[in-house]
Chains A and B, each alone.
Chain A
Amino acid sequence: MTDIPLTTDQLSVTYTGDREIEAVKGVSIDFPANTLTTIIGPSGCGKSTLLKSLNRLHDIQENVEINGDVLLSGESVYDTDVPAPEIRRRIGYVPQTPTALPVSIYENVAYGLRIHGDYDSKADLDEKVETYLRKVNLWDEVADRLDAPGAELSTGQIQRLCVARSLAVEPDVLLCDEVTSALDPVSAESVEETLRELKSEYTIVLVTHSMAQARRLADEVVFLYLGEVIESNDVRSFFEDPQAERTRTFIGGPTPVDRDGTPVEPTATPPTHGGGSTVDDDER
């Protein structure tokens, strides 16, 4: 495996419905291995569209046109003989809304393993389900009720269940679409904690509109604005020494530039890894 498992090359996504909208405009980004890269930007800037184009989720929609390419370990994702389902197994996706499949907790995690046939015996399946539930710190909470419907868990637990479900099919890359935005602060923290633990083992791309979350979790930050990459850098440089004017404005928070044109002083503090007290400043 190369150090850069996932790359986009002049990737453009255009919605060709009633009005033609180019939501992602010629984006080229590298997502390094065993790193958590966040894509940040204001709502409607094309973050989710970009994320879904990385594993061909747009294939199932009408009226979406994709140009450029996505490379997984150097191989094209679009121009390939590998069928889309296999591409999506290698590049997992966790949607924004916590979604328990309408089956038991156990079967939620086993679902991907079952469709891909990734187990030898019932014992093997049991073991794998346990392994991945442990990975997302959910095992202790659900071990005694694996047969209960997944939908009966709390939203924070469901979101961790979703992560476990995605990890179970052994993806090379995991895409997470604003996975904490639908959660209360406490649940959001538990999911963040899980992602923080996973990021040394997995290549994770996390879309978020929360600056604070990016600071807490990211190794690399990509700032997307109106479908274009304005700036991308490692987290420290990005927040402490932003290069682009627009980045400075955006990091500065919701307050716009002053009347005379000088940007508002960024109030950024260095990211504090491992701290849990920063959830409150999350801009939800």
Chain B
Amino acid sequence: MNRYTRQRLFGIAVRAAASLVVGVLLLVIGVTVIRGGGVLLADPSIVLTPPGARYMLEGTGGFLHAVLGSIFIVGPATVVSMVAAVSTAVYLQSDYSSERFSDAVNMFLNVLWGTPPIVYGLFVLTIIIATGTQTSLFFGIVAIAIFQYPIMTRYTDEALRAAPETVRESTYGLGATRFESARMTVRAAAPGVIAGLVMGFARGIGDAATVLFTTGRSTRMPGGLFDAATTLPVLIFDQAMSFNAEVRSHAYAAAFVLTVVVLGLIVLSKLLAGRYARYTPGGNR
């Protein structure tokens, strides 16, 4: 085959690949929006209605319990995980730890990042069994926080590394302590840190495997920190396997809500990052 023919065929192939990816993804979003949107349009109140007594069997009531469960689990988990992630990333900077140590920790973070979420779920479940307690909202928070931690740490660490070295030099040159200097470096890395925060939240709110075994897959409204709960992805999973058509249709409505939330968060993170970039040296290009 002529090398120019090969070149042309390759061009066609990569275009086809890109179109395939985009097409399939549009199909997925399209089906979610149309099916889910249809169900929601017919009865928007299901998002804000607590589930009926036989909700998973007959689809009476709505799925407010899962919406609240998602918020009450992923919100606190993100806060906890973010604090840990920023602290870790700051520690991994050269001011605090040696290069060898931060390389080693990064290796473990990589491994944790690649660890299947179901393992985190199982890990927290073994803790629940070992302590003789019950699955609950609380353990959902723990599991999601562990799941988010390596993701957010990676983003934050990258952002801090990309922050200009001269911010550190400047603050030290003014007599700042290591901690004060680190705080300014975190500010300088704000766009990346925020991107990490939102990505962590988006991944956390979309994950089902971590909370499947740890929250109790409740079909009632969450009653407290140590009461059973459920989240949107787990609810969708349970509804999708139902024999009742009404219940299955609610799955699409819940999927619609979840998709809108996740995509909205991603857009939000880009907007926020752009806002903060004004303050970042060299970020205002």
- A interface vs B, CB < 8 Å? 55, 57, 60-62, 85-90, 92-97, 99-104, 111-112, 115-116, 149-152, 162, 165-166, 169, 175
Bound-state Cα–Cα, A94 to B94, Å: 21
Let me know if B45 is at the binding interface, CB within 8 A: no
Bound-state Cα–Cα, A111 to B172, Å: 12
Let me know if B167 is at the binding interface, CB within 8 A: yes
Bound-state Cα–Cα, A94 to B281, Å: 16
User: A115, B281: Cβ atoms under 8 Å?
Assistant: no
User: B170, A116: Cβ atoms under 8 Å?
Assistant: no
How would residues 230 to 262 of chain B score, 1 for a CB under 8 Å from any chain A CB and 0 otherwise? 000000000000000000000000000000000
A36 to chain B, nearest CB (A): 18
How would residues 102 to 118 of chain B score, 1 for a CB under 8 Å from any chain A CB and 0 otherwise? 00000000000000000
A179 to chain B, nearest CB (A): 12
- 4 extra A-B contacts, CB within 8 A, seeds A62-B99, A149-B278: A55-B173, A86-B175, A115-B174, A169-B175
Chain B residues with Cβ under 8 A from A85's Cβ? 172, 175-177
Let me know if B10 is at the binding interface, CB within 8 A: no
- B interface vs A, CB < 8 Å? 94-95, 98-99, 164, 166-178, 180, 184, 187-188, 190, 276, 278-284
Q: A60-B95, A115-B175, A116-B175 are in contact. Are A151 and B284 (CB under 8 A)?
A: yes
User: A92, B177: Cβ atoms under 8 Å?
Assistant: no
Q: A151-B279, A152-B284 are in contact. Are A101 and B170 (CB under 8 A)?
A: yes
Within the complex, which residue of B166, B168, B284 is in contact with A149, where a contact is CB–CB below 8 Å? B284
Bound-state Cα–Cα, A62 to B276, Å: 31
**Residue contacts A-B, CB under 8 angstroms, 13 given:** A57-B173, A85-B172, A88-B172, A92-B173, A93-B174, A95-B169, A101-B171, A101-B184, A102-B184, A104-B279, A111-B174, A115-B180, A152-B278
Bound-state Cα–Cα, A57 to B175, Å: 10
Chain A residues with Cβ under 8 A from B95's Cβ? 60
User: A115, B176: Cβ atoms under 8 Å?
Assistant: yes
A111 to chain B, nearest CB (A): 7
Q: A93-B169, A95-B166, A95-B169 are in contact. Are A103 and B175 (CB under 8 A)?
A: no
Within the complex, which residue of B174, B279, B280, B281 is in contact with A89, where a contact is CB–CB below 8 Å? B174
